[in-house]
Homo-oligomer: A and B are copies of this chain.
Amino acid sequence: METIEIFKDLAIIIVAAKCFGLLAGKLHAPQVVGEIIAGLIIGPSVLGLVAQNDFLTRMAEIGVVLLMFLAGLETDIRDLLKTGPIAFLVACAGVFLPLVMGSVLYGCFYGWDAVGTDGFYRAVFIGTIMTATSVSITVQSLRELGHLKGKVGTTIVSAAIIDDVIGIIVLTFVIGFKNPDSQPGMVIVNTLLFFVISAVLGIVFYFFFKFMSNRYPHHRRTPIYGLALCFLLSYMAEKFFGIADITGAYLAGIILCSVQDSKYIARKMDVSSYMLFGPVFFASIGLKTTIDGLTPEILLFSLCFILVALVGKIIGCGLVAKLCRFSNKDSLKVGIGMMTRGEVALIVSQKGLAVGMMDPVYFTSVILLIMVSSIATPILLKILYRGETPSDTPDTKAPEVLTPESAQA
């Protein structure tokens, strides 16, 4: 492939992704769904304008790493600690129930395999995909309703953030266990070692970045060194510990999320991400999605998959909220609020595809899950919040990280 061809590919990808993203927005679906569909349409399955290639694969990998870095950066550790106990229980139930129910669903469809076999891990992987709530979709839904700062809102957001962490740990374990060369014991040791080393590095880098952002507030060097830390931990995680690179990227975000300039860093990352790397990542998922294999069986599976994923979160999270003395209505809000899925489910799926634990056909199920949950959640929350006065004042309503352009307008 000639170098000049990349400009054609990139131009088509970013225009198509934006147009379909906006179209999705008009239909009250998240833009990300539109971007994936754009990839599907310009890709080999429909128009054949752009073919997946080595360069795009690498751009997409940078894209997913940037997204997870951003997710880490958006974490507010104080909020996390404040609503901690309840949110932690909600998150655990919200991870555990869908994980088990998803695995059982796969077993119902494709038979039951012994623990440790390939089929077993494929089943567990379907459950793993269901675990992570999408922080950005949850936050955006609550912000639109003006209930981001209330008790329910904070619990949902904290729990969504915690379940991201748990989801990534589950993913790391699942991928680690699957690796035929490694022993489960080694995986645990490796994982612990990685987190210990990350913690040590994290403390060192936290103080370095704290110093940097106090000494040179809003200087370009801070986000640039931040990006380097993200790349470094991504590399280390995968190269030396056999852990997903996105885990490293997410940890880099967590390390930096409480330094003074974290929002400034996030804003710079967000621009790089949404201008080019993000659309390439989401479109490349569409480019890879095969709809040739969409048999009636897969379609039926998709419907059950969606039902299980949504019900798993509602029951798991709602029940724990109820046990923690939330009212019936508020418990339902927590359950509904936690059922949105987004980028993380796709990231997990792509990882599963990369290590051979998932077939590309299931992307369709994941895309449908994201679409259904992202449309259903805001509508259902709107109904549940009907008649209540918004708890957010205009100035606390919109955390600027998610729409940095508004902050710069």
- Which of B15, B232, B245 sits near A228, CB closer than 8 Å? B15
Decide if the interface of chain A is mainly helix, strand, loop or mixed.
helix
Q: Which of A230-285 touch B at CB < 8 Å?
A: 231-232, 234-235, 238-239, 245, 267-269, 271-272, 274-276, 279
Contact B275 A219 (CB under 8 A): no
Contact B15 A225 (CB under 8 A): yes
Given contacts A267-B408, A272-B271, A405-B219, contact A6 B224 (CB under 8 A): no
Stretch at the interface among A57-65, A298-306, A320-328: A57-65
- Residues of chain A having any CB pair with chain B under 8 Å: 3-8, 10-11, 14-15, 18, 22, 54-55, 57-58, 61-62, 65, 217-221, 223-225, 227-229, 231-232, 234-235, 238-239, 245, 267-269, 271-272, 274-276, 279, 405-406, 408-409
Known: A7-B234, A218-B409, A220-B405; 14 extra A-B contacts, CB below 8 A, are A3-B58, A4-B234, A6-B61, A6-B62, A11-B228, A11-B235, A14-B228, A15-B224, A22-B221, A54-B54, A218-B408, A267-B408, A272-B275, A408-B408
Inter-chain CA distance A362–B365, complex, in Å, is 56
Inter-chain CA distance A245–B5, complex, in Å, is 11
Contact B238 A4 (CB under 8 A): yes
- What are 21 A-B interface contacts by the 8 Å CB criterion? A3-B58, A4-B238, A5-B235, A6-B58, A6-B61, A7-B235, A8-B231, A10-B228, A11-B229, A11-B235, A15-B225, A18-B220, A18-B221, A55-B58, A218-B408, A220-B274, A220-B405, A223-B275, A227-B275, A268-B271, A272-B275
Instruction: For A11, list chain B residues within 8 Å (CB).
Output: 228-229, 231-232, 235
Instruction: For A275, list chain B residues within 8 Å (CB).
Output: 223-224, 227, 268-269, 271-272
**Complex A-B, nearest 3 residue pairs according to Cβ-Cβ distance, in ascending order:** A11-B231, A7-B235, A271-B271
Contact B272 A65 (CB under 8 A): no
Inter-chain CA distance A406–B216, complex, in Å, is 12
Contact A231 B10 (CB under 8 A): yes
Inter-chain CA distance A210–B406, complex, in Å, is 20
Instruction: For A408, list chain B residues within 8 Å (CB).
Output: 218, 267, 408
Inter-chain CA distance A7–B62, complex, in Å, is 8
Instruction: For A229, list chain B residues within 8 Å (CB).
Output: 11
Q: How far is the CB of A159 from chain B (nearest CB, A)?
A: 29
Q: How far is the CB of A167 from chain B (nearest CB, A)?
A: 22
Q: How far is the CB of A261 from chain B (nearest CB, A)?
A: 11
Q: Quick one: which of A219, A235, A409 has the most chain B CB within 10 A?
A: A235
- Which of B3, B14, B61, B217 sits near A227, CB closer than 8 Å? B14
